[in-house]
């Protein structure tokens, strides 16, 4: 069905009518759907080969309106697990459960945990229904001399059915950063140098059905994401620590699950049913997001961290913003797109730093006690509107909500030392 980005911009300018999208994940397929739905000639280059499992299986509630817009929510719901909240495990004795339906004035009070292979296929199918063509090919790029322009190599151009170069090349190929490496554009890295080990298990326990679980460990942290018939589990731990537990990713993950006191009890009866996938290039974003005839979207622009399940939201938001900029035909719109995405990524980085340094978990713990007092009940009504919506994704760009959280992690810890809950 046709779909037009909801901004009312016309498609009068001739420029940027042929769009090549490199990558068929949520960012690439989302951008393709929005652009093709607006009448542009879009070709998605999506190679068939992919890892057995991919990080990004838990969606925040702010993703759900995009699923509705793409017309795939019912399809996604049929193979996914309904997600009603999030559970934070501080240690063996204490935890916090957050319910999305308790977030005041929330637009969406639920989300889904998704198998990424089927989820990605649903979005790519939506792009095709909007008119985008999909070519199963890894498109090769070349630099146009010493300029800031890039070109599709001949096989990709022929596969797209074009006799001329596209007006815009969108790199949605994830953290491989093909385009920025080609142009020699540097990227900024975050504070952490963690390694993530990720696999699916049968028999892993979850405390609240459907909730994404974030477990603070002796070293690093873990996620537990309930899927149909299995649980996705990931360890995010300093690589030097993991190497003490074995040489291979499988040895390291299996040994660490037996070692850590927080997770070994519920992990002991579990059976791993997939290979272990290792990720190391975390917390990085490029220093540029657009050029003369190219743009970056999703993880190719920046990957923050998986701790708040923000990946799919960042992908859809950047795809939507880019589509609006391209369709507008305003040359300045792409610069505004770049600036806005950088601001969004910086916001997520800021919130994630509060998680790792212990301030956020300390604030959560203090809040559990304070809201039981009469002064706490007075202010909780206000906090429940603004603070949780940062983490559901609905208010991550709201300056007031972010300022409120920033104030509270600095001044609302009631003299508790956040180092007690930092992620080592």
Question: Do 199 and 270 have their domain in common?
Answer: yes
Region 347-355: mean pLDDT is 90
Region 366-377: mean pLDDT is 64
Question: Do 266 and 202 have their domain in common?
Answer: yes
Q: Which of 304, 330, 351 is the last residue of a domain?
A: 351
Q: Per-residue DSSP letters for 37-88?
A: HTT-EEEEE--S---SS-S--B--GGGHHHHHHHT-HHHHHHHSEEE-EEEE
Residue 4 pLDDT level (bands cut at 50, 70, 90): very low
Question: Do 198 and 298 have their domain in common?
Answer: no
Is there a contact between 210 and 84 (Cβ–Cβ < 8 Å)? Answer: yes
183 domain residue, yes or no: yes
Question: What value, to the nearest 5°, has the Cα angle with vertex 218 and ends 251 and 248?
Answer: 15
Question: Do 217 and 331 have their domain in common?
Answer: no
Q: How far apart are CA 351 and CA 391, in angstroms?
A: 9
Q: Per-residue DSSP letters for 305-322?
A: -STT--HHHHHHHHHHHH
The predicted model scores a pTM of: 0.91
**What's the pLDDT score for residue 371?**
63
Its domain, for residue 92, covers: 81-112+193-281
Q: How far apart are CA 255 and CA 238, in angstroms?
A: 15
Q: How far apart are CA 302 and CA 306, in angstroms?
A: 12
pLDDT above 80 (res 379): no
307 domain residue, yes or no: yes
Question: Do 138 and 258 have their domain in common?
Answer: no
Region 248-275: mean pLDDT is 89
* H or E element, residue 158: helix 154-160
Region 379-392: mean pLDDT is 71
9 domain residue, yes or no: no
307: domain CATH number? 3.50.50.60
pLDDT above 60 (res 9): no
93 domain residue, yes or no: yes
Region 250-259: mean pLDDT is 93
Question: Do 34 and 166 have their domain in common?
Answer: yes
Q: How far apart are CA 403 and CA 410, in angstroms?
A: 11
Question: Do 141 and 266 have their domain in common?
Answer: no
Region 368-372: mean pLDDT is 66
pLDDT above 50 (res 335): yes
Q: How far apart are CA 346 and CA 206, in angstroms?
A: 32
Residue 390 pLDDT level (bands cut at 50, 70, 90): confident
Q: How far apart are CA 42 and CA 160, in angstroms?
A: 9
Q: Which of 308, 335, 351 is the last residue of a domain?
A: 351
Question: What value, to the nearest 5°, has the Cα angle with vertex 62 and ends 392 and 280?
Answer: 70
**What's the pLDDT score for residue 65?**
97
Report the domain count for the chain.
Answer: 3
What percentage of the chain has pLDDT greater than the value 70? 91
Residue 381 pLDDT level (bands cut at 50, 70, 90): low
pLDDT above 60 (res 146): yes
pLDDT above 60 (res 10): no
Q: How far is the CA of 405 from the CAs of 87, 114, 189, 304, in angstroms?
A: 19, 29, 24, 18
**What's the pLDDT score for residue 376?**
57
Bigger pLDDT: 53 or 48? 53
pLDDT above 50 (res 120): yes
Bigger pLDDT: 394 or 297? 297
Q: Which of 351, 375, 395 is the last residue of a domain?
A: 351
CA atoms within a 13 Å half-sphere pointing along the CA-CB vector of 99 = 4
Bigger pLDDT: 231 or 9? 231
Is there a contact between 150 and 117 (Cβ–Cβ < 8 Å)? Answer: no
65 domain residue, yes or no: no
Region 98-107: mean pLDDT is 88
**What's the pLDDT score for residue 1?**
37
Question: Do 306 and 327 have their domain in common?
Answer: yes
Question: Do 130 and 270 have their domain in common?
Answer: no
Question: Do 296 and 398 have their domain in common?
Answer: no
Residue 7 pLDDT level (bands cut at 50, 70, 90): very low
pLDDT above 60 (res 56): yes
Region 207-235: mean pLDDT is 95
């Amino acid at each position: 069905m046709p779909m037009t980005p909801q901004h009312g911009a016309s498609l009068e300018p001739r420029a940027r009518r042929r769009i090549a999208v490199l990558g068929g994940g949520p960012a690439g397929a989302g951008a393709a759907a929005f652009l093709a739905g607006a009448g542009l000639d879009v070709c998605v280059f999506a190679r068939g080969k992919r890892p057995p499992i991919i990080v990004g299986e838990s969606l925040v509630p702010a993703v759900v309106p995009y699923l509705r817009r793409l017309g795939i929510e019912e399809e996604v719901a049929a193979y996914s697990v309904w997600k009603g909240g999030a559970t934070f495990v501080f240690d063996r004795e204490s935890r916090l459960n957050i319910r999305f339906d308790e977030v005041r004035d929330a637009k969406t009070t639920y989300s889904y945990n998704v198998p990424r292979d089927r989820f990605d296929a649903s979005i790519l199918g939506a792009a095709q229904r909007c008119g985008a063509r999909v070519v199963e090919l890894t498109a090769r790029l070349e630099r146009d001399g010493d300029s800031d322009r890039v070109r599709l190599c001949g096989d990709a151009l022929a596969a797209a059915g074009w006799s001329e170069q596209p007006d815009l090349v969108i790199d949605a190929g994830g953290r491989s950063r093909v385009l920025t490496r080609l142009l020699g554009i540097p990227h900024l890295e975050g504070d952490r140098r963690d390694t993530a080990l990720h696999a699916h298990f049968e028999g892993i326990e979850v405390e609240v059905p459907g909730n994404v679980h974030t477990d603070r460990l002796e070293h690093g942290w873990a996620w537990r994401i309930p899927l149909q018939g299995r649980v996705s589990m990931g360890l995010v731990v300093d690589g030097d620590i993991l190497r003490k537990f074995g040489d291979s990713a499988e040895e390291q993950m299996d040994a660490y699950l037996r070692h850590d006191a927080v997770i070994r009890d519920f992990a002991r009866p579990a059976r791993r049913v997939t290979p272990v996938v290792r990720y190391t290039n975390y917390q990085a974003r490029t220093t540029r997001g657009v050029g003369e005839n190219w743009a970056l979207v999703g993880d190719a622009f920046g990957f923050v961290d998986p701790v708040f399940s923000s990946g799919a939201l960042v992908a859809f938001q950047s795809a939507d913003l880019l589509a609006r900029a391209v369709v507008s035909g305003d040359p300045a719109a792409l610069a505004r797109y770049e600036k806005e995405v950088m601001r969004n990524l910086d916001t997520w980085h800021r919130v994630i730093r509060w998680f790792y340094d212990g301030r956020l978990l300390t604030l959560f713990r203090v809040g559990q006690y304070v809201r039981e007092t009469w002064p706490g009940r007075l202010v909780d009504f206000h906090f429940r509107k603004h603070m949780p919506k940062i983490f559901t994704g609905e208010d991550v760009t709201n300056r007031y909500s972010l300022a409120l959280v920033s104030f509270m992690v600095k001044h609302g810890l009631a003299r508790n030392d956040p180092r007690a809950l930092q992620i080592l």
